[in-house]
Homo-oligomer: A and B are copies of this chain.
Amino acid sequence: MNIYDIAKEAGVSPATVSRVLNNHRNVKEETRNKILEVIKGKNYSPNMVARNLSVGISRNIAFMVPDIENPFFSKILHGISDKAMDNDYNVFMFGTAENTQREHKILDSLKIEMIKGLIIIPVSECDQETALRLEEFEAQGVPVVLIDRDIRNGRFDGVFSEDAEGAAGAVECLIQEGHRKIAIITGPSTSRPGHERLKGYKKALENHGIPVNKDYIICGNFMEEDSYKAMMKLLDMDDPPTAVFSSNNMTTLGCLRCLKERRLKLGRDISVVGFDDIKELEYTDTHLTAVTRPVYEMGCEAMRILERRFQDGEEMMGEKLIIQRNLVKTGLIKRGSEKHKEFQEEKQDE
């Protein structure tokens, strides 16, 4: 069953059927109704592959994430998906497993004709291979939107968060509680969230005249295991910190595992504030204070930017006039893990 069958049945040409299918003007109301009727009667639906071949573009969006199982990314996908469905786009999801090699492979296998746009959380900010491929996509007319992580020296659209501000807020909160010995478990410095959150950490300390202690800065690579080891190292120091700022949800889990093993109580023996909330903890006695952000909305926003780019592309053939880079605001939810017994006593004196 194809467009010719419908045309024959309705006594018109395939072109007219096509016009009706694509809501073109210049079709007599009568003809249109007749055709619509036949379509309904025969339960016909046009072949999208043929359509894509003919017009040269599809309605598929590719979404690439470093870790499929990380709830943070699932939430973004949720936003993208919802927005995509509203506008009849389909979303391909690809997991890069935080591996640049794999990222390149996927990018290479992604034929430009297959997708209309690409939303990506790149593994690394300075990987030239990835950057090159993304530029290639844009050059071919497939817009790229970044989320959360950036591409250094790139001219890509993106949705990011106020990482530095968020981190600073978290550290500020610890300082307010009386902490002076505050450590940070960072993400890789090759990612925007990694270095920006570190910057925020330093900024907050500086603002309060607290010198930055290099030993208190340890890299957790945004991974649980590395963070676990980092936390171990911190605890074993001669002069251990009283508080730790953890750079993302994964590193926070690593901290928690370490604390659990050492039987240290959060918000009493040691303080931890994390970037990004961990939903499940709300159901437990682990009262994590965390920097929050509108994650679902970040996904929606990425789709919005992409669609705008689609329109621009139609209007003015390439030539990116404005780069759309949106920042979402962070919040801070205090739940108690920022506290510490050492400073609580002082407070009672007040």
Interface core residue of A68, A92, A256, A278 (most chain B CB under 10 Å): A68
Chain B residues within 8 Å of A98, by CB: none
Q: Which of B53, B90, B94 contacts A81 (CB 8 A)?
A: B94
Q: Determine if A308 is an interface residue (Cβ-Cβ < 8 Å).
A: no
Complex: A266 Cα to B48 Cα, angstroms: 54
Q: Determine if A113 is an interface residue (Cβ-Cβ < 8 Å).
A: yes
- Pair A91/B88 contact, Cβ less than 8 Å: no
Q: Determine if A285 is an interface residue (Cβ-Cβ < 8 Å).
A: yes
Q: Which of B90, B109, B279, B285 contacts A284 (CB 8 A)?
A: B285
- Pair B69/A81 contact, Cβ less than 8 Å: no
Chain B residues within 8 Å of A78, by CB: 68-69, 95
Complex: A74 Cα to B65 Cα, angstroms: 12
Chain B residues within 8 Å of A283, by CB: 253, 256-257, 260, 281, 286
Q: Determine if A52 is an interface residue (Cβ-Cβ < 8 Å).
A: yes
Q: How many of chain A's residues have a CB under 8 angstroms from any CB in B?
A: 45
Q: Which of B75, B90, B92, B284 contacts A260 (CB 8 A)?
A: B284
- Pair B114/A48 contact, Cβ less than 8 Å: yes
Chain B residues within 8 Å of A60, by CB: 92
Q: Which of B88, B95, B113, B278 contacts A47 (CB 8 A)?
A: B113
Complex: A264 Cα to B77 Cα, angstroms: 36
Q: Which of B91, B94, B282 contacts A85 (CB 8 A)?
A: B94
Complex: A92 Cα to B91 Cα, angstroms: 6
Give, as a whole number of angstroms, the nearest-CB distance from A191 to chain B.
22
Complex: A69 Cα to B79 Cα, angstroms: 10
Q: Determine if A344 is an interface residue (Cβ-Cβ < 8 Å).
A: no
Q: Determine if A93 is an interface residue (Cβ-Cβ < 8 Å).
A: yes
Chain B residues within 8 Å of A113, by CB: 47-50
Interface string of A36-52 (1 = CB under 8 A from B): 00000000011111101
Task: Name A21-48 residues within 8 Å CB distance of B.
Answer: 45-48
Chain B residues within 8 Å of A256, by CB: 283-284
- Pair A58/B49 contact, Cβ less than 8 Å: yes
Chain B residues within 8 Å of A58, by CB: 49
- Pair A47/B111 contact, Cβ less than 8 Å: yes
Residue of B nearest to A45 (CB): B111
Give, as a whole number of angstroms, the nearest-CB distance from A220 to chain B.
14
Q: Determine if A327 is an interface residue (Cβ-Cβ < 8 Å).
A: no
Give the 4 A-B residue pairs with the shortest CB-CB distance, closest first: A280-B280, A256-B283, A284-B284, A284-B286
Interface of A toward B, CB cutoff 8 Å = 45-50, 52-53, 58, 60, 68-69, 71, 74-75, 77-78, 81-82, 85, 88, 90-95, 106, 109, 111, 113-114, 253, 256-257, 260, 278-286
**8 further A-B pairs in the complex, CB-CB below 8 A; given A69-B71, A93-B93, A253-B280:** A47-B53, A48-B114, A49-B49, A53-B53, A68-B78, A69-B74, A81-B93, A260-B285
Residue contacts A-B, CB under 8 angstroms, 23 given: A46-B111, A48-B111, A49-B49, A49-B52, A49-B58, A49-B111, A49-B114, A68-B78, A68-B81, A69-B71, A71-B71, A78-B95, A81-B94, A85-B94, A88-B109, A90-B114, A91-B93, A256-B283, A257-B282, A260-B284, A260-B285, A284-B284, A284-B286
